Amino acid sequence: MPHRSFSPLWAVAYLDFFFIKPIFTFEIQFNEDLPGLVSFLITSLVITALVRHVRKLAEVKRDQVELLDLTFDTVIVRDMNGVIKYWNRGAEELYGWKRGEAVGKVIHSFLRTGFPMSLDKITDTLVRTVRWEGELIHTKRDGSEVVVASRWALQRNESGQPKATLETGNDISARKRAEEMLRRSQATYLAEAQKLSRTGSFGWNASSDELSWSEETFRIFGYDPGVQPTVELLFESMHPDDTARVRHTINLAASTGQDFELEHRLQMPDGAIRHLHVVAHAATDEAGRLQFVGAIMDVTATKQAEQQLHEAQSELARVTRLTTLGELSASIAHEIGQPLAAIVTNGEACVRWLDHPAP
């Protein structure tokens, strides 16, 4: 052991401890003090145990909070009035506000939340099922918007009353942008394909008579895309001779729920006639309502080609008949001309013979 200097002060203290009677002792002079001392000791032990338990709970809570801060998802706890009680590090990184700036704020006003449906309906579902999932639009500190896949879980108190809501979420803005770009790309390709093939698409709700047309369908019917298509608008441009037949066909399909296929003509404002071929498939939506999804093909060019082919075939038949008649006439002329020529020759010979001095 390292050498320590032994001061006289320590020597006096040691002598005082071993040879002088102590001033304070643990001796109980009065029996009536014993219960109080025992109570004091028990209370001290209980308080010590409680303090240790509280410290342990605090350590556990601190560890849990640290674990929640490790996740990349946002974790927000709010009371039933929407006041933020907890805001993890993931929420700080996504939205840009620190925990101290967010706690105490009303979350939907703070983040300017955009809901897919009314907040009352969402709260109704949350209280009834203790869960809700959906996509929300939140505004960050820099003013930009972010799309969040949000999941809510309801916490109840001992009496079963709603107490708080745990909200977790993750940023899906990049995925939504990619989906939107893909959707636009597909829509562009579809529009170009429909334009090239002269085929439009449509949707028809048989119960409400609501129609939806693609861009090519508007072009086929000659209407501006800003016009709301209706069944009556469809019949306005239809050829009068086809109206009754088409109306009967679609009424029958609406009553039976069966697919249908038909051809009809459009009479355009400039007097031109367009021929259409319509194919529709019957389906039902989630509410069980009858709908039709179909395609409209502009077959005017095909009809015109068929007409031209028919005319060419008719002309060919006429020319063939004339050619056959010419050949028949030539044959008849040949067959008749040969005997007549012989008769003429013989007659001329007879005339010469009669002209002789001696016939």
DSSP letters spanning 276-330:
EEEEEEEEE-TT--EEEEEEEEE-HHHHHHHHHHHHHHHHHHHHHHHHHHHHHHH
* pLDDT score of 137 more than 90: yes
Give the Cα separation of 223 and 333 in Å (integer): 65
pTM above 0.75, yes or no: no
Q: Which residue has the tokens 């809901």?
A: 115
CA distance 153 to 98: 23
CB atoms inside a 10 Å sphere around CB 214: 21
Give the model's confidence band at 62: pLDDT under 50 very low, under 70 low, under 90 confident, else very high.
Answer: low
Residue 337 has pLDDT above 50, yes or no: yes
Count the Cβ atoms, other than its own, within 10 Å of residue 164: 17
Q: Do 69-171 and 178-298 agree at the fold level?
A: yes
Q: Which two tokens stand for residue 300?
A: 């005017």
What secondary structure letter does DSSP report for 222? T
The CATH code for residues 178-298 is 3.30.450.20
- Average pLDDT, integer, range 110-138: 92
Give residue limits of the domains in the chain. 69-171, 178-298
| Cα 251 from Cα 290, distance rounded (Å) | 13
The first and second tokens of residue 158, run together, are 């001992």
Max CA separation in the chain (angstroms): 209
Q: Judge whether residue 183 has pLDDT over 90.
A: no
Q: Kindly tell me the sign of the dihedral angle through the C-alpha atoms of 223, 225, 228, 230.
A: positive
Q: Which CATH number fits domain 69-171: 3.40.640.10, 3.40.50.1110, 3.40.50.11890, 3.30.450.20?
A: 3.30.450.20
Residue 285: predicted pLDDT: 76
